Every structure is written in structure tokens, then in C-alpha cells.
Amino acid sequence: MVKVFISGYVQRIGFRQFIKSNADKLNIKGWVRNIPDSRVEAILQGRTQDIDKMILLCRKGPFLAEVRDIKIVELPDQQFHSFEIVK
């Protein structure tokens, strides 16, 4: 399980919905939210290869996104049952 911080032009362009849609397709659990410093933060739980695919998608983002950097932090496992957009 990882926590991902995505920086760049990533808020107000559908980035959270982009992540949720792809997480659902890849059977990834966790959550995503905008944070006050203009980054997007996400917790990703699932198979390693699916998380790797999700991170690659986060590096590109949806149309209009301009991803500058991604920081990845390994976390101890928790149990999530779905993927949610957190406000």
C-alpha cells in the first residue's frame, strides 16, 4: 500500500475522478483528495502490478493535467473496501 502525492496543475480539472475511475478498473482500494497546498493525495491498496499501473496513469493524468512530480510513500497495510473521493 502506498500514499501518493501528485503536484503540478492537478486540481479543478477532474484529476480525482480520473484516479477513481482508473482505480475502479484496476480493483484498487483507498481514497483520493485535494489538499490545501494544491496537490492531490491518494492512498492506493491493491496488487503491486496494479498499483504500478495506477502510478503510471497518475504521472500522465487526465486531459489538461500538468504533472510536475509524484512522491510515493510506502505505508503499512490497512483494509479498505472501496475507492472513494474524499472532500
> What's the chain's Rg over C-alpha atoms?
12
Provide the annotated active-site residues.
Answer: 16, 34
How distant, in Å, are the alpha carbons of 45, 48, 64 from that of 55? 12, 11, 18
